Structure 1
Amino acid sequence: MFTPDNTVIGFIGTGVMGKSMAGHLMAAGFPLMVYSRTKAKTDDLTEKGAAWLDSPKEIAEKANVIITMVGYPSDVEEIYLGENGLVNHARVDSYLIDMTTSAPSLAVKIFNSAKEKGIHTIDAPVSGGDVGAKEAKLSIMAGGEELAVKAIMPILNLLGTNIVYQGKAGAGQHTKMCNQIAIASNMIGVCEAVIYAEKAGLNPESVLKSITTGAAGSWSLSNLAPRMLNGNFEPGFYIKHFIKDMKIALDEAEQMDMKVPGLALAKSLYDQLVEMGEENSGTQALYKYWKS
């Protein structure tokens, strides 16, 4: 049983979501060590008592639970499997939890490498965006050995309210791909509905009151459509990271000989937004495609 008395948590990646997640762990009394490529992103946490360490290697040598929430599969691979990475320096019987959305095949590779060294790894990507992270209401999709997932459940419960064990290593990431595929087409529908309401001369806010609680309801419609109407395109989830996720899903679908036309269309629209300089905007900035 992991408690603040017997657990030191390392947290790598304190961006839009990671900072809030790490803060919940501190609030629960867990000693926390942090690392981020941009040290300034950890300032809020270190001011509250978290310890800054200079590298993932140092965290691996001192923590018995390490959570990563970084950007891209290449970052995950370097942090876990690089010469100075977690797998090469973590303690035996420590728990490494990757909450980044990454490639399922990489999760399997990390799991196999870590298991040879007596280290537990769990792929546990999340959904819920900045709001879910701030409110500790994330949906967490876990893959790996079931006993390992059960062991770290008290920690995951501090971060989310819907935690589901999906199966062997990589299953969490595959589940997240299902999530992103569903969101991709839905975001097109949300934007088209809002634009249609505007062009029809309706009050979009009133339209949302009607349709968010009906059959068209979705998290994106309830949470992101109002941001579009308010001109708020700050990232709860970066477009550049969503494109990364869609590419992973497209590659995985191709390996399964599966056609995903909705996903392909969504990615093509978001690619155009990147050409417009919107890569660091939130995914709700897809609204601007119709406004350009």
Structure 2
Amino acid sequence: TGVMGFNMCRNLMENGGFLKMSVYNRTQSKCDELVAKGAKLCLSPKEVANNSDVIFTMVGVPTDLQNVVYGTNELDGIFDGCKSGNILVDMTTSRPELARSISRDASKKGIFSIDAPVSGGDIGARDGTLSIMIGGDRKSVESLNPLFESMGKNIRYMGESGSGQHTKMSNQILVANNMIGVV
């Protein structure tokens, strides 16, 4: 529920038909506005997973993602609370190999894992106009299209797990090249 996640959650609640939403942030006060709108505050990623069929993650860096998904000595992770049939959607800009690893580990637990990094920044998150690049099980992705549509306008299925991250990496390279060309 940081800069990006807060607005993505808000759009899911207002436009995605989410009747119940559970939220977690290391800094609980960052969840206050969503809780005021009806979200349930959870004390761990595990608790979010226990209360959810679909779990979205949006964190800062790949190591944070690993901690949230797998847990740490101090924090129970998403996998500690998931049930068979859950869908985990990671929207963090991460690494393709981490997305594939999470997907492999998720499938062993009967969980579907989707990597869906975004482009468009905080304004796109606020306005619900993000570009979403998706990798993972196509049937699971299609079942979530109404949710993706509440957060973004340019939604593309790219292929198997890790493909969303590969596409985001390519996007970032093109952005960097354009910035260099302007300088």
2: CA distance between counterparts of 1:59 and 1:46? 13
Aligned residue in 2 for 1:32: 21
- Residue in structure 2 matching 1:78, options 43, 48, 67: 67
Counterpart residue identity of residue 26, structure 1: M
Cα drift, residue 185 of structure 1: 2.4
Larger deviation, residues 81-90 vs 37-46: 81-90
Structure with more contact order per residue of length (Cα contacts < 8 Å, sep ≥ 6) = 2
Larger Rg: 1
One of 97, 100, 108 as aligned partner of 1:116: 108
What do the CA deviations read for 1:45-64 (whole angstroms, capped 9, x no partner)? 11212111100011111111
The amino acid of 2:91's aligned partner reads M
2:153 alignment counterpart: 161
User: Is the partner of 2:97 in helix, strand or coil?
Assistant: helix
The residue type paired with residue 17 of structure 1 is M
Give 1:151 shift.
1.2
Please point out which of 29, 47, 56 is paired with 1:67: 56
CA shift, 1:175, in A, is: 0.4
Q: How many residues align?
A: 178
**Structure 1 residue 130: Cα displacement:** 1.1
Which of 106, 115, 128 is the aligned partner of 1:136?
Answer: 128
Match of 2:166 among 167, 174, 180: 174
Verify the 8 A CA contact 1:87 1:113 in the aligned structure 2.
no
Answer yes or no: is the 8 Å Cα contact 1:102–1:173 preserved in 2. Answer: yes
CA distance in 1, matches of 2:132, 2:79: 23
**How do 1:275-290 and structure 2 match up within 5 A?**
none
Distance 2:26 2:174 in 1: 31
Aligned residue number for residue 223 of structure 1: none
TM-score, structure 2 normalization:
0.93
* Counterpart amino acid of residue 9 in structure 2: A
Q: Which of 169, 175, 181 does residue 183 from structure 1 map onto?
A: 175
CA RMSD of the aligned region, Å?
Answer: 1.2
CA distance in 1, matches of 2:139, 2:98: 21
Deviations, residues 170-197 of structure 1 (Å, cap 9, x unaligned): 000000001111111222344x3xxxxx
Equivalent residue number for residue 7 of structure 2: 20
Q: Which runs of 5+ in 2 are unaligned?
A: none
> C-alpha distance in 2, partners of 1:169/1:129?
23
Identity of aligned residues (%): 50
Q: Is the 8 A contact 2:46 2:79 kept in 1?
A: no
Take 2:67 and 2:126, find their aligned partners in 1: how far apart are those partners?
Answer: 27
Q: Deviations over 1:94-140 (max 9, x none)?
A: 11100000011000000000001110110000001111111111100
Q: Does the Cα contact within 8 Å between 2:50 and 2:82 map onto a contact in 1?
A: yes
Task: Give the Cα separation in 2 of the matches to 1:40 and 1:186.
Answer: 38
> SS at 1:20's partner residue?
helix
1:225-256 deviation digits (Å, cap 9, x = unpaired): xxxxxxxxxxxxxxxxxxxxxxxxxxxxxxxx
In the aligned structure 1, how far is the partner of 2:139 from the partner of 2:8?
23
Which is richer in strand? 2
- Aligned residue for 2:3, secondary structure, equals coil
Equivalent of residue 81 in structure 2, options 76, 81, 89 = 89
CA distance in 2, matches of 1:167, 1:125: 13
Partner SS, residue 44 of structure 1:
helix
- Matching residue's letter, 1:18: G
